[in-house]
Amino acid sequence: MIEGGCYCGAVRYKIDGSLGRASACHCSHCRRAFSGASSAYAEISEGSKFSWVIGEDKLTRHNSQQGWGLVFCRICGSTLCGLFDGKVHGVTLGTVDGDPGVQIEMHTFVGSKAPWDHIGGNAPQFDEEPPNSGASGVVK
């Protein structure tokens, strides 16, 4: 069981299952939405069940592009999760209590990262979206 919530504690969620495909996106949209150098986000694994425990009435949603959106606590502003076609697709790793069971697997849109952002670690870095196969988009 994975649990998490917003900064002020008004909203809590749980995931009966696991997370996968953790990544950090460094595009200007994610920097603003996540108020940092990048997003740190993991998808909810197939077969896992996401549910709001408390505070669902304190959420606000923003649809960013066709089919995609973000969910925030309207009290403290924490970015809690991402939506795809109206369903929770994944969660922001900073809102997970304890160890989320995943680590950042890749950094995307590094070609447009903020000039003050210095990426550490050894996860692959891609100028834009990662390619479907091969490593031709990896930033060296």
- Which pLDDT score is estimated for 17? 96
Residue 40 neighbours by CB under 8 Å, 6+ apart: 22, 24, 34, 92, 93, 94, 104
CA distance 39 to 25: 5
- Which pLDDT score is estimated for 61? 92
The fold for domain 2-112 equals 2.170.150
More confident residue, 66 or 87: 87
Helices in 1-135 by DSSP H: which ranges?
Answer: 28-34
- Which of the four pLDDT bands, split at 50, 70 and 90, describes residue 32? confident
Does residue 133 have a pLDDT over 80? no
pTM exceeding 0.95: no
pLDDT tens per residue, range 35-78: 888 889 999 999 999 999 999 999 999 887 778 889 999 999 99
- Which pLDDT score is estimated for 129? 85
pLDDT tens per residue, range 93-123: 999 999 999 999 999 999 999 999 999 889 9
